[in-house]
Amino acid sequence: MALLFEDRRSRGVEPVSSPLTTHVLDTASGSPAWSFCLCLSRLEVHGQQWTELGKSYTDPEGRCPGLLPPGHMKAGTYKLFFDTEGYWRKRGQESFYPYVEVVFTITNETHKVHVPLLLSPWSYTTYRGS
């Protein structure tokens, strides 16, 4: 399986601008969720199987730059998997939700798509951002 993005933290590589972005905010502390693990997948029409496109971590601002390289976004159904249990465990906190999966549809591959996640140990919300 070829991953379209990778964790670039250890390589010091500046990520390119992505047409798909996310931002994770820890609403319990009022700060960005740093070093938050997430995976991006796309639903393949043939066979209705999820194909993992990559795994990465949020930066100190809670953002995950370079989720999808320019030119790789195509119309279809995508899923962002957020490892909420891992994030809260590192902070000594239990989590009601072990993970959050946000499934969304991209209909126009020329538009930028932003999918933020606002998170506490007991709740989460998401929306189509700009």
Query: Residues 81-117: pLDDT tens digits?
Result: 999 999 999 999 999 999 999 999 999 988 889 999 9
Q: Determine the Cα angle at 29 with ends 17 and 23, to 5°.
A: 15
Distance, first Cα to last Cα, the chain: 31
Which stretches of the chain score pLDDT less than 70? 1-16
Decide: 86 and 62 in contact? Cβ < 8 Å. no
**Which element (helix H / strand E) includes 85?**
helix 84-90
pTM score, two decimals?
A: 0.84
Where helices occur in the chain by DSSP H, the ranges are 84-90
